[in-house]
Structure 1
Amino acid sequence: MATLLRSLPLRRVAQSAPAFMRPSLLRHFSSYPSDRKYNSSHEWAKLDGDVATIGITDHAQAALGDIVFADLPEVGSSAVSGERAATVESVKAAADIYAPLDGEVVGVNEKLEETPDLINSEPHEEGWIFQIKVSDPSQLDALMGSDDYEKTLEEK
Structure 2
Amino acid sequence: MSLTARLADLGITLPDAPAPAANYVPFVVTGNTVYVSGQISNGPDGLIVGRLGDSMDVDAGAAAARSCALSLLAQVRAACDGDLDRLKRVVKLTGFVNSTADFTDQPKVINGASDFMVEALGEAGRHARSAVSAASLPLGVAVEIEGIFEIE
Q: Give the shorter-chain TM-score range.
A: under 0.3
Higher relative contact order (CA 8 A, sep 6+): 2
